[in-house]
């Protein structure tokens, strides 16, 4: 792999703009190279068949005596080069790099003086060095800023560790008389951490850091726990109610083993997250220094000069090339974590700090191909069975479509959603959208598109097999009498899917299943939990699965109160079923409405209020459409049509303008947005048109389109499937916009809540 592609692949996606623009600098070098090649071609005589040296004038045997004068008077492309260390006569140097002090910049900016600008084509090389300086100053300033941030965070973690050691001693040795001396002994490593942080900090902050160390060493043994309170970092319904009642979120320390375990878990997560930041910063420094080395070597090769040594000497002496703060913090974090969180077991500690990257397994690819082939074969078999046995013309066809078809369509909706999600993951990865960070997946546990597609193909295989088994048992004379078993096949499949979903054992991607369950519970209890992106993203997915929820409701009614042995049910005539038919349709939108109100209450963002209004209009449209489908009537039709049109316009505008960030009039990419990930702008316009058309599909239930060759349940399933496809398209561009917002703010890490609050922190 060429360095340019490897450099691109190892970038932190959210910091991409802060890396050296290697490709653009390569473009400038290609311009220099092509100019030199043209100049060389123009200077060569044409029509000569012999080698050029044979046409040179004979200078005589006395040339050596006049060589010095000839060298001085004759212009030459190759000037004397600068020595490797940048020292020597100024006339012998290609470049001079100077540090220019600027207000607001601690290190200043570096400017390169190109000494050969008067040479033919020198203006191209001058442009190259100006851009090179700009890239280096950008990289160096960004790195310094990030290092200062991690140094400040290290100071906070140091204070948290002091409190943890005191808390641990208090819990594990509450009656010891030598409590103070034990505290001092166990705190020695924490004091060393503070010393390292102070040494790593900028020189202006070291004096304050040293003073803080002296103060902490005096106060630490006895008094530290008197200045600390426990923070309720975990958002729960109880904490939400307390915040509404304006009850203090902090509480006095309770010295118990359960509290100690929670504190240790929180601090462990904080240390792991901090360590990942340090590794990314170290990798950022290494990659950029390597990129400058590569580009300067290419410059020397293209221009036939020797400027790389002087420039790289400056890079080595600069802040990004000489600072050792990150390496020191990495060593201190490793030693502290291994001692305090893995019981001095280095192997265990490093496994937690540096989890292995997830590898693609061959058995996943094999299983994916196997189940995909099985699903396609079963689908072909199902079509053949329907055609050869002429099921559409049989007497019980209408009854089958009203009862069994809604049961099996549930799996079609789930499989289609999984396929769309797998496609989303594939394109997110291809275009470097950092979806694991956006969703907050634990490193190494996120599912790839192969795993998701494997789940979809496996479920499709089971569903199609059960449909064929159901039809075969019904038409076979030998099994025709076992109607109870035949009709229970869909219920058995649903039970199996639910069993796997809630299985507590470490099988079938347990961490992903539990993450899904937690997010789903947060959606159900929407106003009582702090709204995060995974929560409202899942709630949006559920709004596109209303028909699947109605199928689940039908499962309960059909097998709970219906006569499933004879395919008879009174669901539609039941008032309870009708009531829940309304509730199930409106519940996903109502959940999103409550999430928006929660965010409006917390963030004071008026856009959340408008978003809540959008979902309220959708709730009204859904309820009126449901009422019209059950009761008919011209008044209900008119109200359903009006509310559906309003909700469609509102939702379409929100999708394209707010969620996708498109249709910006003054954008660099006209009618799109300034930054785009996809290379083809036409894809965005196609997505806009598809979103509008698929949004209009749900008006079918109001306009009551009839297709003669399609059963009513089939048409409902098709419309529901179109909405799932629209949601899949929406997913990609919604996350693309979120990713670009993170990139614009260089936001590559999520804040980790800390367990302790100090008095000075609360005052500040």
What tens digit of pLDDT does each residue of 639-665 get? 999 999 999 999 999 999 999 999 998
Question: Which pLDDT does position 589 carry in this prediction?
Answer: 96
pLDDT of the residue at 194: 47
Contact 415, 502 (CB under 8 A): no
Predicted pLDDT at 166: 82
- The tens digit of pLDDT for each residue in 15-43 reads 998 999 999 999 999 998 888 888 777 76
- The per-residue pLDDT of the chain, averaged, comes to 82
Strand stretches in 556-684, DSSP E: none
Query: Does the structure show a pLDDT above 60 at 618?
Result: yes
Residues 502-529 have pLDDT tens digits of: 999 988 999 999 999 999 999 999 888 8
Per-residue pLDDT band for 101 (boundaries 50, 70, 90) equals confident
CA distance 115 to 404: 83
- Residue 480 pLDDT > 80, yes or no? no
Q: Which of 249-263, 285-299, 626-640 has the lowest mean pLDDT?
A: 249-263
CA angle (712, 696, 622) in 5-degree steps? 70
On the question of pLDDT at 370 being above 50, the answer is: yes
Judge whether 195 and 213 are in contact, CB under 8 Å.
yes
Residue 372, pLDDT above cutoff 60: yes
262-276, 360-374, 444-458, 690-704: least confident range: 690-704
Q: Is the pLDDT of residue 708 over 80?
A: no
- Identify the band that residue 104 occupies on the pLDDT scale cut at 50, 70 and 90: low
Q: Is the pLDDT of residue 673 over 50?
A: yes
Residues 305 and 35: beta-carbon distance below 8 Å: no
Q: In what order do the strands lie in the sheet with 250-251?
A: 250-251, 228-231, 756-758
Kindly report the CA angle at 153 between 151 and 155, in degrees rounded to 5? Answer: 75
Long-range contact list for 679-688, CB < 8 A, 24+ apart? 684/733, 687/660, 687/729, 687/733, 688/656, 688/662, 688/663
For the chain, what are the domain ranges?
A: 146-284+325-355, 362-744
Cα–Cα distance, 730 to 658 (Å, whole number): 12
Task: Please tell me the pTM assigned to this model.
Answer: 0.83
Listed range (212-226, 232-246, 702-716) with the worst mean pLDDT:
212-226
What is the secondary structure of 292-308 as a DSSP string? HHHHHHHHHHHHT---H
Q: Which of 54-58, 600-604, 726-730 has the lowest mean pLDDT?
A: 54-58
Angle at 708 between CA 707 and CA 711, to 5 degrees: 80
Q: How many residues does the chain have?
A: 764
What pLDDT sits at residue 84? 45
109 phi, psi to nearest 5 deg: -115, 150
pLDDT score recorded for residue 67: 38
Mean pLDDT of 148-171: 86
Q: What is the mean pLDDT of residues 467-485?
A: 78
Q: Give residue 250's pLDDT band: very low, low, confident or very high (50, 70, 90).
A: low
Predicted confidence band at 475 (pLDDT cuts at 50, 70, 90)?
confident
Q: How far is CA 662 from the centre of its chain?
A: 20
pLDDT band at 745 (very low <50, low <70, confident <90, very high): confident
Which of 193-202, 505-514, 564-573 is predicted with the least confidence, judged by mean pLDDT?
193-202
- Express as a percent the part of the chain with pLDDT over 90: 44
Distances (CA, A) of 714 to 190, 385, 721: 67, 18, 10
**What is the pLDDT confidence band of residue 76, given thresholds at 50, 70 and 90?**
very low
CA distance 249 to 272: 25
Q: Is the pLDDT of residue 307 over 70?
A: yes
Residue 408 pLDDT:
93
More confident residue, 125 or 81: 125
């Amino acid at each position: 792999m060429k360095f340019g592609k490897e450099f691109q692949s190892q970038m932190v996606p959210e910091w991409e703009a802060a890396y050296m623009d290697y490709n653009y600098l390569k473009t400038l070098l290609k311009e220099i190279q092509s100019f030199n090649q043209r100049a060389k071609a123009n200077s060569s005589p044409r029509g000569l068949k012999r080698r050029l040296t044979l046409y040179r004038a004979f200078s005589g045997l006395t040339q050596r005596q006049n060589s010095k004068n000839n060298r001085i008077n004759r212009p030459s492309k190759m000037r004397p080069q600068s020595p490797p260390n940048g020292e020597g006569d100024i006339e012998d140097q290609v470049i001079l790099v100077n540090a220019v002090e600027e207000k607001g910049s601690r290190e200043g900016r570096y400017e390169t003086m190109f000494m050969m600008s008067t040479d033919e084509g020198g203006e191209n090389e001058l442009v190259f060095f100006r851009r090179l300086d700009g890239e280096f100053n950008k990289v160096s300033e960004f790195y310094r800023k990030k290092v200062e941030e991690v140094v400040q965070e290290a100071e906070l973690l140091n204070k948290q560790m002091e409190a943890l050691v005191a808390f641990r001693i208090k819990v594990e040795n509450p009656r010891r008389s030598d409590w103070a001396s034990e505290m001092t002994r166990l705190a020695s490593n924490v004091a060393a951490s503070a010393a390292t942080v102070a040494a790593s900090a900028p020189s202006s902050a070291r004096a304050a850091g040293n003073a803080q160390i002296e103060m902490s060493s005096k106060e630490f043994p006895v008094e530290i726990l008197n200045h600390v309170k426990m923070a309720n970092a975990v958002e729960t319904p109880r904490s939400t109610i307390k915040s509404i009642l304006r009850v203090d979120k902090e509480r006095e320390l309770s010295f118990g083993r359960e509290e100690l375990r929670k504190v240790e878990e929180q601090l462990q997560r904080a240390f792991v997250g901090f360590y990942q930041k340090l590794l990314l910063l170290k990798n950022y420094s290494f990659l950029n220094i390597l990129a400058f080395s590569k580009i300067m070597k290419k410059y020397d090769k293209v221009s036939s000069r020797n400027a790389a040594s002087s420039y790289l000497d400056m890079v080595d002496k600069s802040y990004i090339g000489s600072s050792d703060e990150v390496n020191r913090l990495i060593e201190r974090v490793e030693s502290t974590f291994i001692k305090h969180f893995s019981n001095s077991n280095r192997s265990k500690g490093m496994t937690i700090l540096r989890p292995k990257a997830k590898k693609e397994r061959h058995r996943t690819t094999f299983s994916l191909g196997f189940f995909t082939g099985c699903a396609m074969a079963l689908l072909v078999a199902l079509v053949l069975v329907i055609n050869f046995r002429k099921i559409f013309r049989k007497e019980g066809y209408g009854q089958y479509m009203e009862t069994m078809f809604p049961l099996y369509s549930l799996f079609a909706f789930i499989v289609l959603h999984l396929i769309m999600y797998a496609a989303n993951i594939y394109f997110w990865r291809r275009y470097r959208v950092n979806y694991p960070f956006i969703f907050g997946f634990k490193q190494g546990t996120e599912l790839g598109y192969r795993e998701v597609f494997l789940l979809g193909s496996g479920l499709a295989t089971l569903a199609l097999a059960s449909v064929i088994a159901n039809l075969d048992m019904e038409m076979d004379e030998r099994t025709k009498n076992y109607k109870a078993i035949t009709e229970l096949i869909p219920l058995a499949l649903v039970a199996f899917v639910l069993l796997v979903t809630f299985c507590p054992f470490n099988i079938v991607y347990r961490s992903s299943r539990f993450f899904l369950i937690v997010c789903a519970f947060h959606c159900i209890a929407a106003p009582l939990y702090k709204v995060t992106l995974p929560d409202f993203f899942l709630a949006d997915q559920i709004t596109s699965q209303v028909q699947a929820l109605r199928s689940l409701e039908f499962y309960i009614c059909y097998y709970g109160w219906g006569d499933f042995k004879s395919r008879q049910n009174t669901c539609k005539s039941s008032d309870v079923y009708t009531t829940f038919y309304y509730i199930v349709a409106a519940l996903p939108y109502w959940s999103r409405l409550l999430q928006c109100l929660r965010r409006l209450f917390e963030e004071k963002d008026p856009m959340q209020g408008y978003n809540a209004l959008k979902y309220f209009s959708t709730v009204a449209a859904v309820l009126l459409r449901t009422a019209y489908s059950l009761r008919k009537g011209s008044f209900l039709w008119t109200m359903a049509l009006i509310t559906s049109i309003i909700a469609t316009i509102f939702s379409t505008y929100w999708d394209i303008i707010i969620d996708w960030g498109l249709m910006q009039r003054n954008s660099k990419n006209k009618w799109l947005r300034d930054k785009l990930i996809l290379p083809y702008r036409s894809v965005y316009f196609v997505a806009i048109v598809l979103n509008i058309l698929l949004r209009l599909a749900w008006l079918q239930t109001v306009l009551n389109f009839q297709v003669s060759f399609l059963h009513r349940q089939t048409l409902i399933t098709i419309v529901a499937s179109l909405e799932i496809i629209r949601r899949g398209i929406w997913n990609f561009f919604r996350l693309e916009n979120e990713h670009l917002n993170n990139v614009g703010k260089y936001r590559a890490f999520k804040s980790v809540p800390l367990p302790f609050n100090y008095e000075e922190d609360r005052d500040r």
